[in-house]
Structure 1
Amino acid sequence: MIVVGLIFAGIAALVHLYIFYLESLAWESPQARAVFGTGSVEEARATRFLAYNQGFYNLFLAILAALGIIFVAVGHLGVGSALVFAGTGSMLAAALVLFVSSKPHRSAAVKQGLFPLLAVGALAIGLLV
C-alpha cells in the first residue's frame, strides 16, 4: 500500500507542476485562461502577480512530495513519508479550502485534491499495516 500511496503522491506532484506552469509561466495564455476562467488577457494581466506567487506554492508542494518519494525509494521511510505527508497533506488542505470557500470552483477543488487524498490515505494505511 505504501507503493500505491507513493504513486498517487507522484501523480499529485505532476498535477501541481502543471498548475505551477499555468499560473506562473503561462497565466495569460488561452489555455490558462480557459482552465482558470480568466476572461480576457487584460483580466489575466491584472491578476498575474497573484497567480505567479500562487504557482510557486504549488511548485514547492510538488517538490516536497517528490523529495519524499525519493527518500522512501532510497530507504529512508520515516523522512520520506513525512515529506510526502507534508506535501500531499498541504495540497489536500488547499483543495478543501477551495471546495468550502467557492461553490463555483468545487469541481476544480476535487480535481486538485483527489490524488493528494488518495496518497495520504494509501500511505497512512500502508504505514499502519
Structure 2
Amino acid sequence: MAVELNHTIVHSRDNRESAAFLAHILDLEVGAEWGPFVPVATANGVTLDFATVPAESITTQHYAFLVSDDEFDAAFERIRARGITYYADPHLKQPGEINRHHGGRGLYFLDPAGHGMEIITRPYGNLG
C-alpha cells in the first residue's frame, strides 16, 4: 500500500464553529461528531478532525486546499459575502488581493482559531 495522509487533528476554540466555517467556505460537509472531534472530509479522502482545546494550546497551523477554478470562484464569493479578510500572501501583508502563482489563483484567510487557510487552483512546484 502506498503511504497516504488519512487525517489530521485541527485544534480550535470551538470544534463545531471551526468545522462549519471551513465546510461552508469550501462547500464540504461537516461529518458526525465522534468523541472530541468534528470531521470535515476532503475529496481526496483526507479528513480534518476539529478538536476543541484551550485557546492557549492552539499553535497556528497552515492548511492549503487545491480547488478547481469554479470551486475557487464559489469559495471566493463566500469569503467576500461573509466579509472575511483575505490576502495574496501567507504573511498577510497584501489584504484584499489574490495571487496568480504557477499560472493559477490563490488566496489566504484565517479560520476562527487563527489558522492560515489557503485555496489554490494550481499546485506548487511539480506536485500534480
TM over 0.5: no
Structure of greater relative contact order (alpha carbons < 8 Å, 6+ residues apart) = 1
TM-score (norm 2): 0.27
Q: Which has the higher helix share?
A: 1
Structure number with bigger Rg: 1
TM-score (norm 1): 0.27
